Every structure is written in C-alpha cells, then in structure tokens.
Amino acid sequence: MKVSVKVPATSANIGPGFDCMGLALPLYNTVTIEETVLPGTGVEINVISESEAVSAMSIEHIPLDENSLAYKAVELLYNSIGQTPGELKITIKSQIPIARGLGSSSSVVVGSLIAANELLGRPADDAALLSIACELEGHPDNITPAITGGLVITSQEEDGSVVYRKLNWPEEWAITVCIPDFELSTDIARSVLPKEVPMKDAIFNTKRLGMFIQAVNTKDSELMRYALQDRLHQPYRIKLIQGLEDIINNLRHIENVLGCVISGAGSSILVISEKNNLDNIKSVVKETWENQNIKCIIKTMSIEQSGAKIVED
C-alpha cells in the first residue's frame, strides 16, 4: 500500500503572534510512504527537489535514515498505538525552500504523520495528529496551518492538546513572500532570543496581537500598520537577515505597505500590503537585496485555505 500527502508551506508569527499564529501558503511538499515487501530492508528515504528554490546543496544535509524527521514522525505514531514501523519507503518531493522560515520541516512531519495514519487505518484523529506533530516540532504555529490551512491562532496546552481558531484574511490585502538565497537555521534564530523579556515588551505584544485580530476581522488597514509590530523576536533576529533593516526602511516610503515581518525564524520575509502597487514593492525588495549581492525569489501569494490532503501519486 502507498499513500501520498500534499502539505502546504507555512509562515509563522506574522509579527506579534510569536509561536501562536501562522498561515498556509501555496507552496507544497508531497510525502509518499510505501510499505515494502522485502524483509530486512528497513527504511529508505529519498528527497527530490521540485523547485528552483530547493537547492541540491540544502537537500544534501537532510538525514536519510531513522534520524530524519519523516521517520521520527512515523515512529511516534506507530509507537502511540503500540507498534513499530516495518520496512518503509518514504519519498519527499519538495517545493518548499529549506531553512527559510516557510515550514519545510513542519510539512514533512505533517505529511509523514497523515500518510502513516492512513496506512495504519486511521487510528489517530486530527486532534491526536496535531498533538503528535507538536511533540516533534515543539510549538503549533507552523503545524496547525499545515494541517488545517488558512490563517490560524493556535496554542498547545499543558496536556499536549492543541486549541486553534481560523481567522478570515481580508481579500483586499496582499502577502508578498520574499525568499533570499541564504539559509537561516531555526536553532540559530532561536539562540539569539532572550530567556526573559521586559514586562513592557510582553504588554506591547499583547496589545499588538489584539490589534491584529481586530484589524483582520474589520479589514482595518490603519490598525494593521500598528498590529504588525513586535518586540519579542524580530528585534533580536533582524541582524541575522542581511539587508532586512534596509528593506524595512525603504518600504516605509510606499503608502500601501502595512508592514514587513520575518517569516517564521527567517530568512524569508513577508510584506503585507493593500493590493495596489505590488510591482513597486517587489522592486524595492529585489533592488535592496541585489545591492548587497543577494539573489531572491519574490511572489505575491494568496493564503492556502486547504491544509494537508491525501492525493493520487
């Protein structure tokens, strides 16, 4: 039996929603798991690039054995029902750039879990899959939209369960995804964050997250300009993303730009704007990075409303 699962890319945090907010984007990884019949072959894992944004060099560093995230996800699910994985072939067809803050690892975890769950006869429901996935990833901001699609605010509770709600992104607002040609590992991006933050910064982000939800619900562009500010992670990570300070300063002169945020841990960024003047936004980002010898891929995308789904391979 063979099962293939197509999983969207995700962007977490979106300014003030550190570790609790994320959205799905129309780039995809497809994970295929096949039960093999040859005894003793163990696990075989293959990663295939299907996008110019996924370089052969970045794929080379992905473990292709029991240390891979794909196998760890499968093993967790099997163990949760008292079983051990047998001989499996796992194939990952990748469109999502690696180490760019677009949920590549989350997509592999989610795709592997859903495919394995299907092979096992669906012993786990969506709530259980969310909990298992978050056990691997550590937080639900990428995992949840990868499973559900859309823009979500989400929380992993102390008992391991995940609570989430979808928000309706205004059609009047565009999301321009800017992907530079350099990687930034999540471990490095997390290492620069302080273990504690001043109370005033925590209050600042609480206010901004409330503004974000209200701005989305009421399509209030002016409020969104305030809402996309952050003091919990972006001030510490901005130095890790070459050119980002210049990009933010250059975008301030474009009237329809609501804000520029780091996508997840980076290195990609999102420019949130009203839908006019998009070519100007792309030109500013591209020229700023090119002046620092950084190549990039820039695309305006709609939020992917469908999450992971089983597909014909």
Q: Say if residues 164 and 140 touch (Cβ distance below 8 Å).
A: yes
Residue 7 pLDDT more than 70? yes
At 178 the pLDDT is 97
Name the phi and psi angles at 192, rounded to 5.
Answer: -85, -5
Which of these ranges, 142-146, 156-160, 220-224, has the smallest mean pLDDT?
A: 156-160
Taking the C-alpha atoms of residue 128 and residue 120, their distance in angstroms, rounded to an integer, is 14
At 5 the pLDDT is 97
Residue 57 pLDDT more than 60? no
Is the pTM above the cut of 0.75? yes
Query: pLDDT over 70 for what percent of the chain?
Result: 94
At 61 the pLDDT is 63
For the stretch 267-295, pLDDT in tens is 999 999 999 889 999 999 999 999 999 99
Between helix 69-80 and helix 126-137 the angle, nearest 10°, is 130
Mean pLDDT for the chain overall = 92
Read off the pLDDT of each residue in 257-268 and give the average, rounded to a whole number: 96
CATH T-level topology, domain 2-167+304-311: Ribosomal Protein S5; domain 2 (3.30.230)
Count how many residues are written for the chain. 313
Query: pLDDT over 90 for what percent of the chain?
Result: 79
Q: Say if residues 92 and 34 touch (Cβ distance below 8 Å).
A: no
For the stretch 221-234, pLDDT in tens is 999 999 999 999 99
Taking the C-alpha atoms of residue 289 and residue 276, their distance in angstroms, rounded to an integer, is 22
| Every domain of the chain and the residues it spans | 2-167+304-311, 173-301
Residue 189 pLDDT more than 70? yes
Residue 313 pLDDT more than 70? no
Cα–Cα separations (whole angstroms), residue 186 to 78, 138, 182, 203, 235 = 27, 12, 13, 25, 16
Read off the pLDDT of each residue in 83-94 and give the average, rounded to a whole number: 89
To which residue do tokens 């939020």 refer? 303
At 86 the pLDDT is 82
Residue 304 pLDDT more than 80? yes
At 84 the pLDDT is 85
Q: How confident is the model at residue 32 (pLDDT cuts 50, 70, 90)?
A: very high
CATH T-level topology, domain 173-301: Alpha-Beta Plaits (3.30.70)
Q: How confident is the model at residue 53 (pLDDT cuts 50, 70, 90)?
A: low
At 12 the pLDDT is 97
